[in-house]
Amino acid sequence: MRTIARPSRLTLAGACVALWVGLAAGNGAAAEPPVRVGVLAYRGGDHANAVWEPTIRYLAERFPERGAVMVPLDLSGMDAAVRARTLDFVLTNTGNYVELEARYGVTRIATLHSSRAGASGGSIGSTVIVRADREDIRDLSDLRGRTVMAIDPDAFGGFQVAWGEMLKAGVDPYRDLKELRFSGFPIDRVAFAVRDGESDVGVLRACLLEELVAEGRVDARRFRVLAPKTVPGFDCALSTDLYPDWPLARLASTPEELAKAVVVALFQMPDDHPAARAGGYEGWTVPLDYQPVHALFRALRIGPYRYLRDVSLVDVAREHWEWLAVGALALLWWAVHSLRVEHLIKVRTAELRAANRDLVHEMAERRRAEETARERQKEMDHVARLSILGEMASNLAHELNQPLGAIANYARGCIRRLEAGTLDPAQLAEVTGAIAEQAERAGQIMARIRNFVRKRAPQMEPTDINEAVQAAITLCQGQAHNGHVPIALALSDDLPPVLADRVQIEQVVLNLVKNALDATVGTAPGAAEDTRRTVRVRTGRDGKGRVEVAVTDQGHGLSEEARARLFAPFFTTKPDGMGLGLSICRTIVEAHGGHLWATDNPGGGLTMRFVLPAIEESETHDS
Amino acid sequence: MTRDADTAAPPPRTVYVVDDDPAMRHSLGWLIGSLGLEVRSFASAEEFLRALRPDQPGCLVTDVRMPGMSGLELQDMLARAGSMLAVVVITGHADVPMAARAFRGGAVDFLEKPFNDQLLLDRVHEALETSTQSWAAHARKARVRSLLARLTPRERQVAHLVVAGKLNKVIAAEINLSPKTVEVHRHNVMEKLEVGSVADLTRLLIEAE
C-alpha cells in the first residue's frame, strides 16, 4: 500500500486542484485490503497450499483491485481467527463449519461440488479400516474392546461421522473401546498405524484411503473396510452415510456485496479449471443443506449441541439402574430432575448473560473500529489538504519574494542616498511609486491565492473555456518559469461556451499543466532540445462538437502499468506525490458530463485531453 | 624598471544586473546605484551577452532562474570565453547543488533572496576589485606579448641566452656569430623591449611565459 506522503513541496503537484469537495470521493475506493480466506489445513500447511492455493489465486484474479490471500489454519487457529474477525471467508470442513455457524454466525455461500457426490449431493463420509488379515473384526459391533485410532475428536469425516455410525451399531467409542487414540493432523498416520499393527482399527475420511493409495503411500490390499456401504455415484470405500462437502462461508462481518461477488466468481469457475483440479473438486454449487450434520451432532452431543452432554450421565445411570426399585428411583429421579432443571435454567441464564455481555462488548468494539476508520479517513483528508496547502505556501512564498525583495532594495537604496546626500526628489518620487506598485503586486498574489483556496459550492454557469485555461496558466507560470519550460498556447477562438464551474475547470487545467511541467522538467535540459521542452495547451472542438482541451508534454511518458492505473486514487509516479490529482480531475470532468483520458505522443511524452459538452448541445445531452 | 600596465586607462567600474523580473532588476539597479557605481540592467542572459564586449571588466549580478539561459549557464559561458567579469549569483530558490555549481564556476558569492543589502554591496565591491585585478594582470601580459612580437627570431634567441647568464663571447661561439654582431643584437633587444638592465629583461621574459 502506498504510504501517505508527508506534506512536502512537490507532493500532489496537481492536487492544488484537489478540491475540498472532491477529496472524500477520491479516498473512498482506495486501499482495499485483499480478500482474506481462512483455509482449514487438515493435512498441514504445505498440503493446504497445494490444494487450495490455486482456488485462492483464482479469486485473486477475479478481484484484481484487491487480490486475495489464503490463511492456512488448524482447527483452533480457525476458531480464533473467526472470533477475531481477521478473515472475510472461511473454507473449512463440514463439522467445523457447523460449529462456526452456531458460534459466530458464519453463513455458507457455496459448497464444493465433487464428482464423487452421491445422489443427495453429499460427498463426505468415513471409512473404517482394519488390516486385511484381522479376521476377528468383521463388523462395527466387533470394535468393542479394540484399539481405534482416528484423526482428531473434532475431525468430521475423520472421526465424527464414524462415531455416529458406531453409536448406531451399539458401540460408544468413549466407553466401550479398549482405547480410543487420536493421531492428530496430518492424518496419514492413521493408515500407517493400522498397517503396522499399532492400532486395530482406523477411521479415515472417505476417499482418503484411495488418495493415499493413488499417491503410492499405502497398498490397498493391506486393508479391509468395515461395514461397507454403496451409494450410487460415490465410488470410494465407505462405512457411513454421506454428508455435504466443505462449504465456503462468509463471516457475519463480511460485506454483502463482497460475498455476492465471490459467489458469482466461484459459480463461474469452469469444471476443469486448474484450481478445481488441484482442489479435487469440480466447481462450486449452491450451498447444500447441512441439517443432517446438525442431526448427527445432536446425536453425538458435540459441537453446538455439547450442552446436551450434561444430561448424559443421568441418562446412563437411568439405563443401568432401571431394574432397581422403581418407586424409590422415581422419587429420587424427580428430586434430581427438578434440581437439574433448576440448574439447567441457571446455567442457561448464565450463558445467556455471558452471551449478552459478549454481544454488548462486541458492539462496542465494532463501534470503536468504525470510529477509528472514520478518524483515519478524516486524517487522510486532512493530510491531503495540508500537503496542498504546503505546496501553495511554498509557491506563495516564492512568488512573494520578488515584490518584497524589490521593495526592500528600493527602500535601502533610498536610505543610502539620503545618507550620502545624493537623493534627488524626482528620483524619490519615482522610486516610492515603484514601491507602492510592488506592494500592490504582492497584494494581488495574496488575493489570487485566497480566491483559489476559498471553499465554495460548485457554480455552473456558461464559461469560456479559453478564459479558464488562461487563468490556470497564469497560476503555473511561476513553475514553468523556474523550470525553464515555456508553455505554448493554441486557443481556438470560435468555441461555444460550456456549462461549467469555472473554478473547478481551472483547477483541472492547472493540474494537467502542472503534471506536464513536472514531467518535462524531469528530462535533462539541453540547448538542442529546446523545442522538446515545451508544454503545449490547445483548445478546440472534437468531432462531436464538444469543446476539447489538450495538454501535451514531451516528458518521459508512461509505462503500460502506470497508464492502466493512471486515474486510480493514490497511484502516483512522482517520488512524493499522493496520487490524488488525476483521480479528482476525472471526477470533476465527469461531473460536468465530460471525459478525461491520456494518449501517447508519437514523439514521446503524453497528451492529457478532456472534452466538455458545448452549451448548445447540453440541453439534448442532459439526462 | 618595467612600466606597469596601469599606463592604460583604468576600466570604468560598471555593475551589470541580469534579472528577468522588471521590479527586481530596477530595484537592484537603484540599490547598487546608491554606491555611485554605473549600473547597466538586462532582462535576460542573451540580451546581456549581445551587449557585452568580451574583455570588459566589471561585476555581474545575475539571477539563476530565468527563461532561456539560466544565470549559471551564463556564468559558465563567460568563464569559457575568458571573461574578466566577477560574478555574484542571486536566487530566490537556493539548493546545495546550485550553490556548489556557482562556486565551482568561480562566483564571488551566492546569495539567496531576500539578502542583506550591505552583504550584497560588499560583494559587489569585492567583485569589482577582483575583476580590476584580473583585468590589470591581463593587460600587463598583453603588453609584454606585444613588446616581444617586435623582436626578430635571432634577437629572441640572443635575448634568451642573455637571460641564461651567458657572456657575449660564449653566445657568439654557440650560435656562430661574431661577438660584435651579438653585441648589436643585444643592444636592439634592450631597445625594443624598453628595458635598461638584464634584471628587467629577465623579469619581462618570465612574465611572458
Q: Place B163 in a pLDDT band, splitting at 50, 70 and 90.
A: confident
CB–CB of A405 and B68 under 8 A?
Answer: no
Q: What is the pLDDT of residue A30?
A: 46
Q: What is the pLDDT of residue A7?
A: 37
Chain A CB contacts of B61 under 8 Å are none
> Which among A9, A395, A416 is the top mutation candidate for probing chain B, defined by the most B β-carbons within 10 Å of its own β-carbon?
A416
In single-letter form, the type of residue at position B6 comes to D
Q: Write out the residues of chain A at the interface with chain B, using a CB-CB cutoff of 8 A.
A: 398, 401-410, 412-413, 416-417, 420, 422, 431, 434, 437-438, 441, 481-482, 484, 486
DSSP reduced 3-state for B91: strand
Mean pLDDT of B125-141: 87
pLDDT single digits (tens) A196-230 = 888 999 999 888 888 888 888 888 888 999 888 88
Mean pLDDT of A454-469: 77
CATH of domain A460-621: 3.30.565.10
Task: Please check the confidence at residue A394 and state whether its pLDDT lies above 70.
Answer: no
CB–CB of A409 and B92 under 8 A?
Answer: no
Q: Which is more confidently placed, A68 or B113? A: A68
CATH of domain B150-208: 1.10.10.10
Q: Place A590 in a pLDDT band, splitting at 50, 70 and 90.
A: confident
Chain A CB contacts of B19 under 8 Å are none
Task: Please check the confidence at residue B25 and state whether its pLDDT lies above 90.
Answer: yes
Q: What is the pLDDT of residue A583?
A: 76
Chain B CB contacts of A396 under 8 Å are none
H or E stretch at B108: none
- Taking CA–CA distances from B24, the nearest residue in chain A reads A406
Q: What is the pLDDT of residue A523?
A: 62
Distance CA A389, CA B202 (A): 70
Chain A CB contacts of B21 under 8 Å are 402, 406
Q: Place B126 in a pLDDT band, splitting at 50, 70 and 90.
A: very high
The neighbour count for residue A461, using CB atoms within 10 Å, is: 11
DSSP reduced 3-state for A37: strand
CB–CB of B21 and A417 under 8 A?
Answer: no
**CATH class as words, domain A126-225:** alpha beta
Backbone angles phi, psi at A205, to 5 degrees: -65, 140
CB–CB of B114 and A406 under 8 A?
Answer: no
In single-letter form, the type of residue at position A473 comes to I
DSSP β-ladder status, B85-91 and B109-112: parallel
Q: Place A620 in a pLDDT band, splitting at 50, 70 and 90.
A: very low
Chain A CB contacts of B114 under 8 Å are 401, 404-405, 408
Q: What angle do CA A575, A13, A476 make, to 5 degrees?
A: 140
* Residue A330: all three cell numbers together: 422415581
How far apart are the CA of A430 and the nearest CA of chain B, in angstroms? 11
Q: Which of A409, A441, A484 sits opposite B28 (nearest CB)?
A: A409
Q: What angle do CA A176, A178, A184 make, to 5 degrees?
A: 100
CB–CB of B23 and A404 under 8 A?
Answer: no
Chain B CB contacts of A481 under 8 Å are 20, 65, 67
Query: Nearest Cα to A259, choosing from A287, A232, A299?
Result: A287
CB–CB of B35 and A410 under 8 A?
Answer: no
CB–CB of A406 and B67 under 8 A?
Answer: no
Chain A CB contacts of B30 under 8 Å are 409-410, 413, 431
Q: What angle do CA A396, A402, A406 make, to 5 degrees?
A: 145
Q: Which of B23, B65, B92 sits opposite A438 (nearest CB)?
A: B23
> Partners of A38 in the beta sheet?
A71, A90
* Residue A297: all three cell numbers together: 451432532
- Taking CA–CA distances from B19, the nearest residue in chain A reads A402
How far apart are the CA of A524 and the nearest CA of chain B, in angstroms? 14
How far apart are the CA of A424 and the nearest CA of chain B, in angstroms? 12
CB–CB of B67 and A402 under 8 A?
Answer: no
Q: Place A450 in a pLDDT band, splitting at 50, 70 and 90.
A: low
Contacts of A368 (CB under 8 A, 6+ apart): none
Look at chain B and count its residues: 209
Q: Which of A183-187, A325-329, A602-606, B139-143 has the lowest mean pLDDT?
A: A325-329
CB–CB of B92 and A401 under 8 A?
Answer: yes
Mean pLDDT of A261-282: 81
pLDDT single digits (tens) B30-61 = 999 998 899 999 999 999 999 887 778 899 99
Q: Write out the residues of chain B at the interface with chain A, using a CB-CB cutoff of 8 A.
A: 20-21, 23-24, 26-28, 30-31, 33-36, 65-68, 70, 92-93, 113-114, 117
> Partners of A548 in the beta sheet?
A540, A611
* A181: DSSP letter: E
Q: Which of A387-396, A554-563, B88-97, B164-173 has the lowest mean pLDDT?
A: A387-396
CB A200 within 8 A of CB A147: yes
Query: Nearest Cα to A390, choosing from A4, A15, A19?
Result: A15
CATH 3.40.190.10: does it fit domain A32-121+244-307? yes
Task: Please check the confidence at residue A296 and state whether its pLDDT lies above 50.
Answer: yes
* Residue A351: all three cell numbers together: 450463558
pLDDT single digits (tens) A91-142 = 998 888 888 888 888 888 888 877 666 666 778 889 999 998 888 888 888 8
Mean pLDDT of A563-587: 67
Backbone angles phi, psi at B81, to 5 degrees: -80, 0
Q: Which of A417, A422, A482 sits opposite B65 (nearest CB)?
A: A482
Average pLDDT of the residues of chain B: 86
Q: Place A62 in a pLDDT band, splitting at 50, 70 and 90.
A: confident
Task: Please check the confidence at residue A76 and state whether its pLDDT lies above 90.
Answer: no
Boundaries of every domain in chain B = 5-140, 150-208
How far apart are the CA of B51 and the nearest CA of chain A, in angstroms? 21
Q: Which of A428-437, A471-480, B159-168 has the highest mean pLDDT?
A: A428-437
How far apart are the CA of A559 and the nearest CA of chain B, in angstroms? 30
> Which among A10, A400, A402, A410 is the top mutation candidate for probing chain B, defined by the most B β-carbons within 10 Å of its own β-carbon?
A402
DSSP reduced 3-state for A109: strand
Boundaries of every domain in chain A = 32-121+244-307, 126-225, 369-453, 460-621
Q: What is the pLDDT of residue A530?
A: 55
How far apart are the CA of A405 and the nearest CA of chain B, in angstroms? 6
CB–CB of A405 and B27 under 8 A?
Answer: yes
Distance CA A327, CA A248 (A): 54
How far apart are the CA of A402 and the nearest CA of chain B, in angstroms? 6
Share of residues in chain A with pLDDT > 70 (%): 80
How far apart are the CA of B41 and the nearest CA of chain A, in angstroms? 14
Within 13 Å and on the Cβ side, how many CA atoms surround A313?
Answer: 5
Q: What is the pLDDT of residue A338?
A: 85
Do the domains at A32-121+244-307 and A369-453 have one common CATH topology? no
- Taking CA–CA distances from B115, the nearest residue in chain A reads A405
Task: Please check the confidence at residue A25 and state whether its pLDDT lies above 50.
Answer: no
DSSP reduced 3-state for A107: strand
> Partners of B110 in the beta sheet?
B89
Provide the phi-psi class of A218: left if phi over 0, else alpha when psi is between -120 and 50, else beta: beta
CB–CB of B28 and A417 under 8 A?
Answer: no
Q: Which CATH superfamily is domain B5-140 in?
A: Response regulator (3.40.50.2300)
Query: Nearest Cα to A103, choosing from A85, A87, A83?
Result: A83
Q: Which residues of A234-266 are buried (b: 16+ CB within 10 A; e: fewer)?
A: bebbbbbbbbbbbbbbbbeebeeebbeebbebb
Distance CA A236, CA A272 (A): 21
CATH of domain A369-453: 1.10.287.130
DSSP reduced 3-state for B169: helix
Q: Which of A248-252, A448-452, A522-526 has the highest mean pLDDT?
A: A248-252
* Residue A295: all three cell numbers together: 442431526
Chain B CB contacts of A405 under 8 Å are 24, 27, 92, 113-114
Between the alpha carbon of residue A175 and those of residues A63, A157, A167, A168, A392, the distances in Å are: 51, 21, 11, 14, 80
Chain A CB contacts of B34 under 8 Å are 412-413, 416-417, 420, 422
CB–CB of B26 and A434 under 8 A?
Answer: yes
Contacts of A46 (CB under 8 A, 6+ apart): none
